[in-house]
Amino acid sequence: MVTSGSAALAFLFPGQASQRAGMAAELLETEPAARRVFQQAGDILGLDLADVCTRGTGALLTRTDVAQPALLTTSLAWLAALRDRDIAPRMVAGHSLGEFAAWVASGALDFEPALRLVRRRGEIMAEAADRNPGGMLAVIGLPDKQVIEFCQQAQSAGVVVAANFNSPGQVVVSGESDALDKVTQLAEAARGRALPLRVAGAFHSPLMDDAARTFAEFVAQAPIRRPTIPVVANATAEAVTDEESARRAITKQMTSPVLWSASVRRMMADGIALFAEVGPGRVLTNLVSRISADARALPVGAPAELQTLLQEVKP
């Protein structure tokens, strides 16, 4: 398999909020391997994810229990298209939900148990969000330390924590609405911006603690193996290469902050110079460019983008 023509390659898999209406339409028209992935997903879940990901509305794809398996399947369908062309990475990582696609890409999880885990994860998180309403917003243009301090100040109004350290000058915070409003006020007073995310709950926050305990029971029973490709885990920004660490990382992931900036830098320290965002959108591609000017990232969420990556990595 080709890992890259001129630079070590890593695959990155996007997380929730990258989904969009029609996100798999072109993919399913052009890639037989992708159609097989969606057919398998439909057989496993009894849900026509191909229809959801081609004709489903944006409102439907905002539902956590639908968005998570839909996004996982779309990302893995693109992975199948890459594998059809013998393109393989040296390392993998995924942002939040996207980490489950990374575990499949690494060989630590097969598709069926991963999809069942993600479907259950989405259901559990949706139930938790109904019990403990909240949301997430991206704070732009301020140092990480300052955003953490704002969260501490806003805790007088409710639960709120720094949830995703995405890139220099971008931290996602998660919590209850009144506390998020307080963080917004503090950020704007400091000349930052606060942008709400299209998610249905306060993920990676203490409001998901009950959900995480329930989900841990399912992870304990999941058939997880030693990864054959290192996975850089959200919770630690360290490369996972053994089964026990993989199981622990999957269990911690729901409530731990996503250390994305540190994860990208870890991969670069291990020699990665080219990143391919495998799935819909360009969120991770844009984050990589903000994290380091020395790294290159290409999206792979449309047929033309797949061709661009092929031109880059084929010798």
DSSP letters, 200-257, are SS-TTSGGGHHHHHHHHHHHHHS-----SS-EE-TTT-SEE-SHHHHHHHHHHTTTS-
- Per the DSSP assignment, residues forming a β-bridge with 135 are 175
Residue with tokens 């963080």: 183
d(Cα 246, Cα 279) in Å, to the nearest integer?
Answer: 22
The single residue of 75, 96, 167, 174 carrying the catalytic annotation is 96
Judge whether 292 counts as a catalytic residue: no
174 is a catalytic site residue: no
Strand partners, 298: 276
Give the integer Cα–Cα distance in Å for 142 and 187.
8
Per the residue annotation, which of 204, 205, 261, 263 is the catalytic one? 204
Backbone angles phi, psi at 131, to 5 degrees: -75, -40
Distance CA 200, CA 62 (A): 7
- Point out the residues that are catalytic: 96, 204
